[in-house]
Amino acid sequence: MKPAADDPRPILALVAHDEKKADLVAFCAAHRAALARYRLVATGTTGGRIAEALPELEITRLKSGPLGGDQQIGALIAEERVGGLVFFVDALTPHPHDVDVKALMRLAILYDIPFALNRASAELLLRG
Whether residue 2 is contained in a domain is answered as no
**Does residue 68 belong to any structural domain of this protein?**
yes
- Domain count of the fold of the chain: 1
- Residue with the bigger pLDDT between 6 and 2: it is 6
CATH number at residue 119: 3.40.50.1380
pTM of this prediction?
0.92
Q: What is the mean pLDDT of the chain?
A: 92
Domain for residue 6, yes or no?
no
Q: Tell me if 4 is assigned to some domain.
A: no
Q: Is residue 90 part of a domain?
A: yes
- Helix (H/G/I), strand (E/B), else coil: 31: coil
Express each pLDDT in 35-87 by its tens digit.
999 999 999 999 999 999 999 999 999 999 889 999 999 999 999 999 999 99
Q: Which of 70, 98, 100, 112 is catalytic?
A: 70
**Domain coverage including residue 63:** 11-127
Query: Is 3 inside any structural domain?
Result: no
pLDDT of residue 5: 65
Task: Clarify whether 70 is annotated catalytic.
Answer: yes
Backbone Cα Rg of the chain: 13
Q: How far apart are CA 41 and CA 74, in angstroms?
A: 12
